[in-house]
Amino acid sequence: LLGQGQAWRVAFLVVGLPGLFAALAGLRIDDPGRGASEGHKAGQADRPQLADYLGFFTNPSFLYNTAGMAAVTFATGAYAAWGATFYQRVRNLTAKQAGDWIGTLTALAGLFGIALGSWAADRLLRLTRRAYLLLACFAVAIAIPFGLAGLLDPEPRSSLGMLFVAMVLMASVLGPCNTVTANVVPANQRAAGYALSIFLIHLFGDISSPLLIGFLSDLFGKPRVAASWLGEIFADLGASPILTPAGPTNLTVGMLSVIPILALGALFFLIGSRHLPADQERARRLGNEASSEEILRH
């Protein structure tokens, strides 16, 4: 409703800012002592200090996992925010058709993807301790061509089908990646680790992507930019400006920005997987965990 009556930026600020403030509030959550959530005698609750948060930035697995998750959230946030508009404006579906398709496929992709990712990651864990981030890398890498083809396919149904596959693959990283956050952070710092991770994921993910896509859509809709060599390349791919009541826009180019971001995400997961075994051991050692066999499972 806001997007129809106001500029698109107003809608995203109204919806996104409360979530950002909620994530900031989470940074001050007390972490119960080790064992409290398992019903054992807990130690003194740990209030996170600035040094604790700075320490997470020296944890390679935490950083690369968070960066990869931000890239995936960038893409899923883009589809959630602009997907219905894309199919209405570019593929000529009605507002109801576009909303119904995007809403239904997003919900189903989340259900199937989370179940698939959790199952596949635990199977892969039998072969390598890098499993969770390797699975995320493979899933995102495979999602890229489906996402690209879906955005460029002029036929709405086959386009939606390919984007559905991409969304399932992106949703499949949620279980493994959240498990990684728990595994590479000392037990008495997990609340702080999750708070920081969630804050960064949303800041650079689904808060940033709608704004960037809107900016690129407006930019490449301008006749001068559309006539540039880069604009002509996009036009040859099928990403041409479309005239709207607000002026010419090129939402296809905006949506295509998710592709290089996803490629970066796959790379982040791959690099992070190299550090994962060592960082898990370090977290267990710092958290006084008993055995290297007690890897937390999702």
Map 63-90 to HEC letters: HHHHHHHHHHHHHHHHHHHHHHHHHHHC
Q: How far apart are CA 155 and CA 51, in angstroms?
A: 53
Burial of 203 (0-12, 13-18, 19+ CB in 10 A): middle
Residues 11/3, Cβ–Cβ less than 8 Å: yes
Successive 10-residue mean pLDDT values, the chain, 298 residues = 52 66 68 53 59 84 96 93 90 88 91 92 90 95 95 92 95 93 86 90 92 92 91 89 84 94 97 92 72 48
**Contacting residues for 283 by C-beta, under 8 A, at least 6 apart:** 183, 184, 185, 186, 187, 289
Q: How far apart are CA 264 and CA 30, in angstroms?
A: 33
Residue 102 within a domain: yes
Tokens standing for 8? 């698109």
Residue 173 within a domain: yes
Which pLDDT belongs to residue 199? 92
Residue 296 within a domain: no
Tokens standing for 134? 């390797």
Which domain covers residue 272, as residue numbers? 12-28+48-284
Residue 34: DSSP 8-state: T
Distance (Å) of CA 26 to CA 29, 193, 289: 5, 10, 25
Which pLDDT belongs to residue 111? 92
Q: Residue 242 forms beta bridges with which residues?
A: 249
279: amino acid identity, one letter: D
Residue 43 has φ and ψ, to the nearest 5°, of -80, -175
Q: How many domains does the chain have?
A: 1
Residue 36 within a domain: no
Residue 223 within a domain: yes
Return the CATH number at 196.
1.20.1250.20
Distance (Å) of CA 171 to CA 136, 140, 166: 10, 9, 9
Tokens standing for 209? 């992507």
Residue 289 within a domain: no
Residue 149 within a domain: yes
Residue 6 within a domain: no
- Please give the model's pTM, rounded to 2 decimal places: 0.80
Which pLDDT belongs to residue 12? 58
Distance (Å) of CA 265 to CA 14, 77, 277: 27, 14, 20
Residues 81/209, Cβ–Cβ less than 8 Å: yes
Which pLDDT belongs to residue 291? 40
